[in-house]
Amino acid sequence: MIGECDALRGVQDDLAKIAPTRASVLVTGESGTGKELVARALHRQSGRDGPFVAVNCGAIAPELLASHLFGHERGSFTGAASRHVGLFEQAHGGTLFLDEVAEMPPPLQVYLLRVLETGLLTRVGGTESIAFDARVIAATNRDPMVAIDEGRLREDLFYRLADFIVVLPPLRSRGDDRLLLANHFIDRFNAEHGADKRLSRESLHVLHGYDWPGNVRELRSAIQRACILGDGDRVDLHEPPPHPVGGEAEADSVNFRVGMSYAEVEREMLLKTLARYGNDKTRTARALGVSVRTIHNQLGRREG
Ligand SMILES: Nc1ncnc2c1ncn2[C@@H]1O[C@H](COP(=O)(O)OP(=O)(O)O)[C@@H](O)[C@H]1O
Ligand SMILES: [Mg+2]
């Protein structure tokens, strides 16, 4: 983990102390700040020799998440042709990384809490209690307190997951770490391609002036692009074009005017939510609290 600002040094010190223990860790920070990197570092320094298993709770259809995590017995639901060992069991002796944990449906959070408290799980459609040995590390890019207020994250689960909270600051507040990271990614490119590229002086303005909403991930790909496109040994960072329509705040809000019909309000809300979740109808349905069928019906009505 590259970083010498106070926040990152603090994180690194904490990791070394927390890693060898059984304490639970919740990693928070905007997307691209290095949450998964922290989880992997905790695993590496834990001395546990089982695998590191990662699952993005927001990317799996809610109705499949339980069987993904806890496994299922043959025939437990339509399509369950054979027995499946879940990720909890696959991470035996190692670490299970529950990414985007606040996106997990609340009923499943209740079950997860019980599993963590008892150290026992039951596969979907099964009756046997199975002991598992996986260290759980969770992450979210939401503020956990806000997620609790909004009813997304259960408070009791939060306390169980967060013996320690590791907070990763956004890249824009990491001072000179931006330069360290940029040079680190350039060194890596040079090593891989036998090149000898260097960041141009002009790039420093961009590095320090731009706000890097995609954080380290965005910086890494900007550097990679600049290394590939740059002539000779110069790496020239260019400020990316402004985000589409006024940035995330705009993309995440809907404008209602008095005089709009409920049908229009619904349609606006649906389209914005779909756009927010990259047209993923399952996640859209979950966010709106309706069934996927309702989404299809509404889209059909619109198109028809
Ligand atoms: N401090 C850091 N030093 C080096 N690389 C980093 C650092 N933080 C993040 N990265 C890199 O940036 C990318 C995004 O990190 P990741 O852990 O996936 O972020 P998140 O899970 O918070 O979205 C990865 O390629 C990761 O290796
Ligand atoms: Mg991630």
The 10s digit of each residue's pLDDT in 92-113 is 999 999 999 999 999 999 999 9
Q: Looking at domain 6-169, which of 3.20.20.70, 3.40.50.300, 2.40.30.10, 3.30.390.50 is its CATH number?
A: 3.40.50.300
Residues of the chain with CATH 3.40.50.300: 6-169
Contact 139, 26 (CB under 8 A): yes
The CATH number for 172-235, chosen from 1.10.8.60, 3.30.499.10, 1.10.3720.10, 2.30.110.10, is 1.10.8.60
Residue 88 has pLDDT above 90, yes or no: yes
Instruction: Average the pLDDT over 39-68 and give the result.
Output: 96
Evaluate: CB of 3 within 6 angstroms of ligand 1.
yes
Looking at per-residue confidence, does 241 or 212 come out higher?
212
In tens, the pLDDT along 14-30 reads 999 999 999 999 999 99
Average pLDDT over residues 265-282: 84
302 C-alpha to ligand 2 centroid (Å) = 35
**Span 246-303 CATH architecture:** Orthogonal Bundle (1.10)
Q: How far separated are the first and last CA of the chain, in Å rounded?
A: 52
Q: Is the pLDDT of residue 282 over 90?
A: no
Residue 285 has pLDDT above 60, yes or no: yes
Q: State what percent of residues in the chain have pLDDT above 70.
A: 95
Give the 3-state secondary structure percentages of the chain, helix then strand then coil, rounded to 5: 50, 10, 40
More confident residue, 298 or 145: 145
Ligand 1 atom nearest to CA at 33: 22
Which ligand 1 atom sits nearest the alpha carbon of residue 27?
22
Place of tokens 């329509």: 245
Q: Within 13 Å of residue 107, how many CA atoms lie on the same side as its CB?
A: 5
Q: Is the CB of 214 under 6 A from ligand 1?
A: no
CB distance 7 to ligand 1 below 6 Å: no
Whether residue 215 contacts residue 209, with contact meaning beta carbons closer than 8 Å, is answered with no
Query: What is the pTM for the complete model shown?
Result: 0.81
Is the predicted pLDDT of residue 78 greater than 90, yes or no? no
Gap between the Cα atoms of 289 and 270, Å rounded: 11
Q: Which is the closest atom of ligand 1 to the Cα of 2?
A: 3
Give me the pLDDT at residue 304, please: 38
Cβ of residue 1 lying under 6 Å from some atom of ligand 1: yes
Cα of 99 from ligand 2 centre, angstroms: 7
Instruction: For residue 227, name the pLDDT band (cuts at 50, 70, 90).
Output: very high
From the CA of 35, how far away is ligand 2's center (Å)?
A: 6
Does the C-beta of 283 come closer than 6 Å to ligand 1? no
Task: Determine if ligand 1 sits within 6 Å of the CB of residue 35.
Answer: yes
> Which amino acid does the sequence have at 279?
N
Of 169 and 303, the one with more pLDDT: 169
Buried b (16+ CB within 10 A) or exposed e, 63-90: eebbbbbbbbbeebeeeeeeebebbbbb
Q: Which pLDDT band holds residue 243 (cuts at 50, 70, 90)? A: low
> Would you say residue 246 has pLDDT above 50?
no
**Cβ-Cβ contacts under 8 Å for 31 (sequence gap 6 or more):** 141, 214, 215, 217
Cα separation, 120 vs 114, whole angstroms: 8
Using a 6 Å cutoff on CB, does residue 2 contact ligand 1? yes
217, 221, 223: which to mutate for ligand 1, most atoms within 8 A of CB? 217
Ligand nearest 11 Cα, by number? 1
pLDDT in tens, 134-191: 999 999 999 999 999 999 999 999 999 999 999 999 999 999 999 999 999 999 999 9
Q: Please report which confidence band the pLDDT of residue 303 belongs to, taking 50, 70 and 90 as the band edges.
A: very low
- As a whole number of angstroms, the distance between CA 106 and CA 212 comes to 32
Joined together, the tokens standing for residue 151 give 């009813």
d(CA 53, CA 79): 24
Are 222 and 240 a contacting pair, CB within 8 Å?
Answer: yes
CA distances (Å), origin 297, targets 63, 302, 303: 20, 9, 10
Start and end residues for every CATH 1.10.10.60 domain found in the chain? 246-303
Report CA(215)–ligand 1 centroid distance (Å): 8
| pLDDT beyond 90 at 257 | no
- Ligand 1 proximity of 36 Cβ (cutoff 6 Å): yes
